[in-house]
């Protein structure tokens, strides 16, 4: 129920934002708005105020603003309130209004998110010490080793992983990136190949993460056995736990007799942990997670809420919007070139599930997803596909090149083709969501 309510509320609000952009732009240039609808028919409730009928409809997968003269049947270039009477730039202005509102909402929400505070892994505030380096990664190539501690990035002192990430981010715009590292009491300097880092976007190192209990799943064996947030895990079945990454291998090792038949009853494990200086023991039976193919205790690493000042939030929020925009176009490029997977496309079911999870996990996650979805709506609607805003803008571009309105038959056919493509895509992603849901 929470998932359903969140899905309808969030999607309805973002659709309202989008259609409000079209509505305000149309009113600004003097076009009469005949209908403002959130959702598609049949209508739940409608009321006419002035020239406009405001409606809420049953199907919450979109909405529309019907403008006087936007359909080929009611075009009247002589009527100043008619859409067809407006210049090409004014019509483009109306069409861009919807996506622009979605993009503006994302630009406002992201900085707000950083001001409210975002949940981030607690290890980001720990000493930047390497547990290991990834074979073939940048860290290994330049000579970094396990147990190295990073002291400075480009001569700026770093006290935790958060500041390491921030300084490396700043360094990406410089001509060089240098690390000062302590190794067994010796100070060493390493030069990071900027071009390679810009391509891979990761250093290829693994930080030390204290094996402390964070959150728990709803059916967590660890929680049922008495573990609490903040407990420090010391060992599993007598095997020492030094780092968070030690947990999963040790749990799998404890269940090696059940690896081929995970439906069998799990082997009981003994977890040694420390709480407020006292060492205690707990017995529990891990569960098998089919999707991950792993035995788990139902426990996550600690997180913390981190907020920032206005200036820093604005900078980080705008940077995040830019990163997501760039990633979106990279994904679209991969799909068009055949390098992407259709399984990566998500429909309304997957969006609803993600929104439901975000609503359960906290307001910051929900705000981020609202901003992210709004950004996607803005970008997607500007794609040059007939029946979308971008498709209408493309036709106006052809009209400008031709120097005269396009034929009615051509416009009707292109809109019908575009609408058919969108319906087919919607059916496909919904079917894809259902398959993945039942497989899970």
How far is it, in rounded angstroms, from Cα 325 to Cα 321?
6
Q: What residues act catalytically?
A: 19
How far is it, in rounded angstroms, from Cα 186 to Cα 78?
82
DSSP-assigned letters across all residues of 215-237? -B-TT-HHHHTT--TTPEEEEET
DSSP-assigned letters across all residues of 227-287? --TTPEEEEETTEE--SGGGHHHHHHHHTGGGSS-TTSPPPPEEEEEEETTEEEEEEE--E
Q: Are 55 and 43 in contact (CB under 8 A)?
A: yes
Q: Are 61 and 11 in contact (CB under 8 A)?
A: yes
Beta-strand ranges (E) seen in 257-393 are: 269-275, 278-284, 287-289, 294-296, 303-306
Q: Rounded to the nearest 10 degrees, what angle do helices 348-361 and 408-439 cross at?
A: 60
How far is it, in rounded angstroms, from Cα 181 to Cα 151?
5
How far is it, in rounded angstroms, from Cα 6 to Cα 373?
13
- HSE toward the beta carbon, residue 216, CA cutoff 13 A: 17
Closest CA to 80 of 96, 71, 72, 68: 68
Give the H or E element holding residue 314.
helix 310-337
How far is it, in rounded angstroms, from Cα 375 to Cα 325?
8
Residue 86 is classified by DSSP as S
């Amino acid at each position: 129920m929470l998932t359903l309510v969140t899905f309808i509320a969030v999607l309805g609000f973002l659709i309202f934002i989008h259609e409000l952009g079209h509505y305000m732009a149309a009113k600004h240039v003097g076009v009469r708005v005949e209908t403002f609808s959130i959702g598609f028919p049949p209508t739940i409730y409608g009321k006419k105020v002035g020239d406009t009928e405001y409606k809420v409809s049953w199907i919450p997968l979109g909405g529309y603003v019907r403008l006087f003269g936007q359909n080929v049947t009611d075009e009247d270039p002589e009527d100043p309130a008619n859409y067809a009477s407006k210049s090409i730039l004014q019509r483009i202005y109306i069409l861009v209004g919807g996506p622009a509102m979605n993009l503006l909402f994302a630009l406002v929400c992201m900085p707000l998110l950083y001001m409210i505070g975002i949940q981030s892994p607690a290890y980001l505030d720990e000493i930047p010490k390497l547990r290991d380096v990834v074979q073939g990664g940048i860290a290994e190539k330049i000579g970094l080793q396990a147990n190295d501690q990073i002291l400075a990035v480009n001569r700026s002192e770093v006290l935790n992983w958060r500041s390491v990430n921030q300084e490396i981010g700043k360094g990406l715009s410089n001509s060089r990136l240098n690390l000062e590292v302590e190794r067994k009491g010796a100070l060493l300097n390493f030069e990071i190949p900027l071009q390679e880092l810009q391509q891979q976007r990761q250093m290829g190192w693994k930080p030390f993460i204290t094996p402390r209990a964070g959150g728990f799943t709803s059916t967590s064996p660890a929680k049922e056995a008495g573990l609490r947030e903040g407990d420090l895990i010391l060992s599993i079945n007598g095997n020492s736990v030094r780092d968070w990454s030690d947990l999963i291998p040790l749990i799998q090792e404890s269940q090696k007799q059940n690896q081929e038949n995970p439906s069998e009853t799990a082997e009981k494990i003994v977890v040694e942990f420390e709480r407020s200086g006292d060492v205690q023991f707990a017995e529990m039976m891990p569960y098998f997670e089919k999707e991950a193919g792993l035995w788990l205790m139902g426990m996550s690493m600690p997180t913390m809420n981190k907020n920032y000042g206005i200036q820093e939030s604005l900078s980080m929020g705008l940077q995040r919007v830019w990163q997501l925009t760039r990633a979106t176009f990279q994904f679209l490029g991969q799909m068009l070139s055949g390098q992407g997977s259709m399984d990566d496309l998500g429909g309304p079911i997957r969006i609803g599930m993600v929104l439901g999870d975000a609503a359960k996990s906290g307001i910051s996650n929900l705000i981020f997803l609202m901003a992210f979805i709004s950004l996607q709506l803005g970008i997607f609607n500007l794609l040059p596909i007939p029946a979308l805003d971008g498709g209408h803008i493309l036709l106006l571009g052809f009209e400008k090149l031709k120097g005269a309105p396009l034929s009615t038959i051509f416009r009707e056919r292109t809109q019908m083709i575009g609408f058919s493509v969108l319906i087919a895509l919607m059916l496909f992603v919904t079917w894809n969501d259902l398959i993945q849901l039942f497989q899970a």
